[in-house]
Homo-oligomer: A and B are copies of this chain.
Amino acid sequence: MSTQAFHAMHHADRPLLLPNAWDHASGAALAAAGFAAVGTTSLGVAATHGLSDGLARTREQTLALARMLGDLPCPVSIDIEAGFSDDPGEVAEFAARIADTGAAGINIEDGRPDGLADAGHQAELVAAIRARVPSLFVNARVDNYWLSIDMSTPRSTLDRAARYLEAGADGVFVPGAADNATIAALVDGIEAPLNVLHLPGRQTVAELTELGVRRISTGSLLFRRAVHAAVQAAEAIRDGGTLPPGIPGYDEIQRLADGGARN
């Protein structure tokens, strides 16, 4: 699906609400439900394979998911954690393989298992991707808030965002920024579309729109809800309870294998 269309979704009348998938069925079902684009959740990709998130253990699984989502009738953005390597050439090569699947964008994060990456090194990764795959929407994730590091002012986040944009990023993702004042300061201080994570009980999509956010991700929330709902359903069956109405039938799920076209 055209990367151009995906770029444009960050500059439209309304922000892009990007629900995050973890396998083909979830991606196809979200596309069939009418969402304009689909992202991925690295926690979901890791957990479905019995692996830990954020430890660069899901390189092949991430690529396999990107290949599977290549048949969706909407743009797809792939979370590549921190790129699965410290080497800019290797990260750029991986991004190119992701782009080859038809993906319109990627997320790359500066969080590491032991804290934040050196901003200069992270900018090198972004620059290498930019040079290797010019059309891919590169969403640079800044993890100060996510990792609760250096949060007293948005200054550190703004500095990192500026470096990644200078290196060629198309957008900036700041998960974990929770209060209105911080989000407003990030919108003001970042010269590119700001992406935040939807946090249940905090701002609604309408409120984030009002604050000037251009892209709203659901992160791992849909995946966590799916696991939760499956266990709840098993418990309801065990206890003689009832299941919610509207569960798709066997045939409807089978049709998702055809790419989630709205048929």
Is the beta-carbon distance between A35 and B234 smaller than 8 angstroms? yes
Interface residue? A91 (CB, 8 A): no
Q: Contact check: which of B23, B47, B224, B250 meets A43 at CB < 8 Å? A: B250
In the bound assembly, the distance between CA atoms of A47 and B71 in angstroms comes to 13
Count A-side interface residues using an 8 Å CB cutoff.
61
Q: Residue A227 at the B interface, CB < 8 A?
A: yes
Q: Is A230 an interface residue, CB under 8 A from the partner?
A: yes
Q: How many copies does the complex hold?
A: 2
Asked if A47 and B30 make an inter-chain contact with CB atoms under 8 angstroms apart, the answer reads: no
Chain B residues in 8 Å Cβ range of A23: 23, 47-49
Q: Are A227 and B224 in contact (CB under 8 A)?
A: no
CB contacts under 8 Å to B, within A60-119, are: 68, 71
Q: Could you show 28 A-B contacts with beta carbons less than 8 Å apart?
A: A19-B230, A25-B47, A25-B223, A25-B227, A29-B227, A29-B230, A29-B231, A30-B234, A33-B235, A35-B238, A43-B253, A47-B254, A200-B247, A204-B240, A205-B240, A218-B234, A220-B250, A220-B253, A221-B233, A222-B230, A222-B234, A224-B248, A225-B233, A225-B244, A225-B247, A226-B227, A227-B248, A227-B253
> Which residues from chain A sit less than 8 Å from chain B, CB to CB?
17, 19, 23-26, 28-30, 33, 35, 43-44, 46-53, 68, 71, 198, 200, 204-206, 216, 218, 220-231, 233-235, 237-238, 240, 242-244, 246-250, 253-254, 256-257, 259
